[in-house]
Structure 1
């Protein structure tokens, strides 16, 4: 038997896992509290908000950022697809701001359901969730 045939199951499994991660990310939406004054963000604005470099909305209201643990599949997909970063790079930027005294890291929640609840109930809040978890109490923010 040719060696390539022995590794075929592994190759197929890796292809399936890679594709399912992409599907997971394609369903991700940026969500915000209904009172947030924007409906669209540029990629640069999104990155500034999620790296805690932008801490207030254009109206001066403080931004409350909610995220999932770095090990959560949706957090990994969000970092890769939306932020174009590895999760450790994002966490490193939060730690740098915290230790320098110029910012605070985002509030981490256990799961998507809790993230959506926190965003819906916290003025100025932003986060992300799969389309399945988004309800009418949440504002969808489009990224241009």
Structure 2
């Protein structure tokens, strides 16, 4: 699993903490000041389960509960959800502010690799 960005975003790499902060709504901008648009997969996707387990050690139900609390209190909105990894790739390729996660095998020249889970 890898995190990707638009090649024209000015983002060369992110730390794990930066990825956590963007996907958990703690920050809404990249270090360069560009607004960030994190792209998530729908709940049923195995890759989403894997991503959040590796990122924050939590299950998707816990992530959904976290976002429900933030939404209810007016403190944030969850990442935009895509139907598939192909849609994540398309959105990231078309939007300078977007980041997403995909299987490393899905990488192509339309996007830039910015974080690899170890």
TM-score category of the 2 structures, normalised to the smaller one: 0.7 to 0.9
Tell me the TM-score normalized by structure 2. 0.87
CA distances 1:91-113 after superposition (whole Å, capped 9, x unpaired) = 22322222222222111111111
CA distances 1:102-135 after superposition (whole Å, capped 9, x unpaired) = 2221111111111110111112111100122211
**Hey, what does 1:113 align to over in structure 2?**
86
Aligned alpha-carbon RMSD (Å): 1.7
Q: Which has the larger radius of gyration?
A: 1
CA distances 1:18-43 after superposition (whole Å, capped 9, x unpaired) = xxxxxxxxxx1111111223322222
The alignment status of 1:142 with 2:115, answered yes or no, reads yes
Question: For residues 67 and 33 of structure 2, what CA distance do their matches in structure 1 show?
Answer: 21
1:143 CA drift (Å): 5.1
Tell me the TM-score normalized by structure 1. 0.73
Unaligned runs of 5+ residues in structure 1 are 1-27
Runs of 4+, deviation exceeding 3 Å: none
Question: Which SS does the other structure have where 1:62 is aligned?
Answer: coil
**Which structure carries more helix by proportion?**
1
